[in-house]
């Protein structure tokens, strides 16, 4: 089979690999589509993990082999995959900190080499411990919609970490695919969203995804807008879906007392920023982060996406063949004005 193999920083090569061997507890899935995710981009660009690997974890495809001990799946099933599943039983899981669970940190899907997702290839082996995360895609929905379950899950998990009431005013900074998902999921909850971005085209889409107000940055007037929208109270929460310290600090200042700041894109370690601790202690402004998915939300995520209450189709703007994976990654790392979610489509060649 063909796969896009990571051979070192910024070095992805299309190579021929053996189709993964599967055991009695595994599935073999023929990949249709795999989303390009910022976490993979970082690993590929900065070389933070050892090569060789096959990345890609927002994967959907068709079951082509079912291990003798696997129940509930048949050859021909169209499925969306999840590469991390928590044990639900350890200290972290009992605290619902699933992303910190040791079992969760193991990757259960591979196209060969050290398991790393494997979606940028033609076939993946799905190991027993991640089978509970495999979701069947209804016949009316596409593989592309299936590949979006994982990112939607990470967004719903973050929304659930916030204490929001209907009518609340929340800033969503950054209207890329993730920010747009936040906007829509918050709107479904009855929250009024102020959406900001550097690109006017994205703000237009943010309106379609339910933003009540939009604000183009850089530009004055955000604090006036917040004041008007919240009748002088300030933001109930702000979600920072861009890796910018300045944006996070500006938003923190616009929170009401007891409001919450959610960091969703600050994944690079080692940055430091200065914050008035009294804004946390006296003003009770919470600082939160959210990372990765919550397995227990999977059914709800599938319902939202497959019913198209959260219609992910307008978020998908580019599709690349498997041998164009490095072009797909480069575009996702530096998106053009019209680029949102970018997919690699091994199944179409
Ligand atoms: Zn992802
Ligand atoms: Zn656990």
**What confidence tens digit (pLDDT) does each residue in 69-124 have?**
999 999 999 999 998 999 999 999 999 999 899 999 999 999 999 999 999 999 99
Ligand lying nearest the CA atom of residue 149: 1
* Residue pointed to by tokens 């659930």: 160
The Cα–Cα gap between 8 and 266 comes to 23
Closest CA to 194 of 155, 244, 230, 150: 230
Ligand with minimal distance to 154 CA: 1
Per-residue b or e along 147-159, where b marks 16 or more CB atoms closer than 10 Å to that residue's CB? bbbbbbbbbbbbb
Alpha-helical regions (H) of the chain? 38-46, 91-94, 102-105, 143-147, 149-160, 177-188, 200-208, 222-229, 245-254, 277-281, 298-306, 325-333
For β-strands 341-344 and 316-320, DSSP reports them as parallel
Instruction: Give the integer Cα–Cα distance in Å for 208 and 333.
Output: 24
Burial bucket for residue 90 (CB in 10 Å: 0-12, 13-18, 19+)? middle
Question: The pTM is what?
Answer: 0.94
Tokens at 87, concatenated? 């044990």
What is the separation of C-alpha 297 from the centre of its chain, rounded to a whole number of angstroms?
14
Distance 210 CA to ligand 1 centre (A): 23
Q: Which ligand is nearest to the CA of 103?
A: 2
In angstroms, rounded to a whole number, what is the distance separating the alpha carbons of residues 180 and 61? 25
Query: Dihedral of CA 326/328/330/332: which sign?
Result: negative
- The H-assigned helical ranges of 17-148 are 38-46, 91-94, 102-105, 143-147
pLDDT (average), residues 208-214: 98
Q: Which of 67, 74, 4 is nearest to 322 (CA)?
A: 4
Ligand minimally distant from the alpha carbon of residue 90: 2
Spatial CB neighbours of 345, under 8 Å, sequence gap ≥ 6:
32, 33, 34, 319, 320, 321, 322
Mean pLDDT of 157-179: 97
Distance in Å, CA 89 to ligand 1 centroid: 24
Of the listed ligands, the closest to the CA of 178 is: 1
Instruction: Tell me how far the alpha carbon of residue 118 lies from the centroid of ligand 2, in angstroms.
Output: 23
Residue 38 reports pLDDT greater than 70: yes
> Distance (Å, rounded) from C-alpha 6 to C-alpha 53?
5
From ligand 1's centre to the CA of 83, what distance in Å?
10
Question: Residue 348 above 80 pLDDT?
Answer: no
Banded pLDDT at 57 (limits 50, 70, 90):
very high
Residue 292 alpha carbon to ligand 1 centre in Å: 8
Instruction: Concatenate the DSSP letters of all residues of 295-321 into one string.
Output: GGGHHHHHHHHHTTSS--GGGEEEEE-
Label residue 335 by pLDDT band (50, 70, 90).
confident
Domains in the chain, please, with CATH? 2-153+293-348 (3.90.180.10), 162-289 (3.40.50.720)
Structure-token match 């991390």, residue found: 84
Of 48, 45, 38, nearest to 270 by C-alpha is: 48
Cα–ligand 2 centroid distance for 88 (angstroms): 5
295 alpha carbon to ligand 2 midpoint, in Å?
A: 11
Q: What is the pLDDT of residue 251?
A: 97
CA of 150 to the centre of ligand 2 (A): 19
Give the model's pLDDT for residue 226: 98
- pLDDT for 349 equals 46
Determine the distance separating the centroid of ligand 2 and the alpha carbon of 100, expressed in angstroms: 8
Per the prediction, the chain carries an average pLDDT of 95
- Which of 40, 23, 5, 6 lies closest to 332, judged by CA? 40
Task: Annotate 162-176 with b (16+ C-beta within 10 A) or e (fewer).
Answer: bebeeebbbbbbbbb
Nearest ligand for residue 117 CA: 1
pLDDT range class, residue 158, cuts 50, 70, 90: very high
Residue 94 Cα to ligand 2 midpoint, Å, equals 7
Ligand minimally distant from the alpha carbon of residue 95:
2
């Amino acid at each position: 089979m063909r796969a896009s193999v990571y051979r070192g920083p910024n070095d992805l090569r299309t190579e021929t690999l053996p189709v993964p061997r599967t055991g009695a507890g595994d599935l073999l899935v023929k990949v249709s589509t795999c989303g390009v995710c910022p976490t993979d981009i970082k690993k590929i660009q900065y070389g933070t993990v050892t090569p060789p690997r096959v990345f890609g974890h927002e994967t959907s495809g068709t079951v082509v082999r079912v291990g003798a001990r696997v129940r509930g799946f048949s050859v021909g099933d169209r499925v969306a995959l999840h590469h991390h599943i928590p044990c639900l039983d350890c200290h972290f899981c009992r605290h619902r900190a699933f992303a910190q669970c040791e079992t969760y940190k193991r990757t259960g899907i591979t196209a060969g080499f050290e398991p790393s997702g494997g979606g940028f290839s033609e076939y993946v082996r799905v190991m027993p411990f991640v089978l509970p995360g495999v979701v069947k895609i209804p016949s009316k929905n596409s593989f592309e919609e299936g590949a979006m379950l994982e990112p939607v899950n990470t967004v719903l998990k973050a929304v659930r970490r916030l204490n929001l009431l209907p009518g609340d005013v929340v800033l969503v900074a950054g209207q890329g695919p993730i920010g747009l998902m936040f906007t829509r999921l918050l709107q479904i909850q009855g929250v009024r969203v102020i959406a900001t971005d550097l690109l006017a085209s994205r703000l237009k889409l943010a309106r379609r995804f339910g933003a009540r107000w939009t604000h183009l940055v850089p530009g004055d007037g955000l604090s006036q807008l917040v004041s008007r929208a919240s009748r002088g109270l300030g933001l109930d929460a702000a979600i920072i879906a861009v890796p910018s310290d300045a944006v996070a600090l500006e938003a923190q200042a616009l929170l009401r007392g007891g409001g919450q700041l959610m960091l969703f894109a600050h994944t690079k370690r080692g940055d430091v920023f200065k914050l008035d601790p009294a804004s946390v202690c006296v003003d009770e402004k919470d600082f939160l982060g959210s990372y990765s998915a919550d397995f227990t939300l999977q059914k709800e995520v599938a319902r939202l996406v497959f019913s198209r209450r959260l219609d992910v189709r307008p978020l998908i703007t580019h599709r690349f063949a498997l041998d164009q994976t490095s072009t797909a990654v480069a575009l996702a790392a530096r998106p053009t004005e019209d680029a949102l979610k970018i997919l690699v489509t091994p199944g179409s060649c």
